[in-house]
Chains A and B, each alone.
Chain A
Amino acid sequence: MGWKWDKNKCLRCGGCVAVCPTQALELTENGIEWDESRCIHCGICEEFCPVKAIKVKKEKKEDKK
């Protein structure tokens, strides 16, 4: 539950998909889809998003890099 996407803010630009290091994101008909099993909660997508549509909670310590 450490990743939140705000569909009202998102402009469907796909930038977050490009920078996600683990390919956890995909831009589909339904907007940004998040694959929890791939996400390492690095926060890169949140830092990138031009409109702050993503919030990532950095959960585990070992995930920090």
Chain B
Amino acid sequence: MRDVIVVGAGPGGTAAAKYLASKGYDVVIYEKRQEIGAPKRCGEGISFGGLERLGLELPKNCVRQVINSALVYAPDNSHVEVSYGKDYGYVVERKMFDKWLAEEAVRKGAKVKAKTYIKEVLKEDGKVVGVRGEHLGEEFEEKCKVLIAADGIESKISRMAGLNTTANPMLVDSGFQYEMTGIKISDPKKIHLYFGNDIAPRGYIWIFPKGEDVANVGIGIVGKSQKSAKEYLSEFVEKTEGLKDGSILEVNSGGIPIGGLMNKMTLDNFLAIGDAAHQVNPINGGGMYEAQFAARIAADVIDEGIQKGDTSEKQLDKYNKKWWEERGNKLKKVEKIREVSEKLSDEDFNFLAKELKGDNLIDFSRGQGLKGLGKILIKKPHLAKYVKGLHLEF
């Protein structure tokens, strides 16, 4: 019997295993892919602040590009420059990053097994007690004190365990991306974000450089759009100088949770982290940090539970509470801003691009500066009605 079984070797699962193994627990990660980190479902951007809070110092081979600012474009091509005044983050190579995270977990004492598909969650008296899986054609069963679902957006493990994680389709962005080369990037330290209902309805297009002639060029839109994410992105690439003659190194797609944060992510002997629990920043779609942040809280709570000999839902509920206190409430505010942005017309975006400063946008992605946004929205009668949705007190 293991102390803890983790399903999924993404950032969330590997972080949870690392924290638990450092505390001396017997923990294993099962990953269905034959190669950890590939194919990626990610734009690969992560901030220095996030890495620092996670205590991560990336080895050189995980890093492709240092970023120091973001250019945010309105439909009329006017833009706001979000300059952080210093180097701010990385575009990483997920294939290397995820593998390195797994190596770190193993260095702390965890076990990892790729190409292992978890098919079933075992239960006794209605409580989770282990898993049934298959590794290279061989079936096995294994028991554990606690099961962690870090299986990403599909979130099948939670559902098998009895936690309903079915996503509201309006709260999952349809994501599509090309990793391109043979393109012209004027300044690889800048990321570019394009808004507009014709190019990316209720979402946006991003360019995250990975060097002077390589970049992740992607789109996230709400599923119910006229055209598919791929069609919108292809149109953008074809009409954009510097991109249209580029080559395609990789094609990526995926669902990005942009809301639907869950109050309850636990059962007896069970909890969910990362995309599996919809823990993603609703504005910038960043989930690598969120998954690892939640993993640390989860590991602390599981540690306490196992020590007490109590891993019941009541005990693990501390994870729900702590996560909401430290993270959820903030992300909820970010979600409110996103809800406003989804209602904006192209003219509204053009107007806001003139009114907003880079600092405002930095604040928004952190769930701050709502008052400032409210004050600008109030200037236009048809926008003023959205101020209510921000739940502000003036």
Contacts and interface: CB of A to CB of B under 8 A. Distances in A.
Q: Do A and B come from one complex?
A: yes
Interface of A: 11-15, 17-21, 23, 26-29, 44, 47-52
A51 B255 CA distance: 12
Interface string B250-281: 01111101000000000000000000000000
A20 B252 CA distance: 20
B230 interface: yes
A49 B255 CA distance: 9
Is the contact region of chain B dominated by helix, strand, or loop, or is it mixed? mixed
Given A15-B153, A50-B176, A52-B230, A23 B166 contact: yes
A58 to B, nearest CB: 15
Contacts of B152: 14
A14 B166 contact: no
Interface of B: 39, 41, 117, 152-156, 159, 166-167, 169, 172, 174-176, 223-224, 228-231, 251-255, 257
A19 B156 contact: no
A48 B168 CA distance: 11
Is the contact region of chain A dominated by helix, strand, or loop, or is it mixed? loop
B39 A12 contact: yes
B166 A20 contact: yes
Contacts of B229: 50-51
Contacts of B176: 50-51
Given A11-B39, A27-B154, A51-B230, 15 more contacts: A12-B39, A13-B41, A13-B175, A14-B154, A15-B254, A15-B255, A17-B154, A18-B167, A19-B255, A21-B169, A23-B159, A48-B169, A50-B174, A51-B228, A52-B231
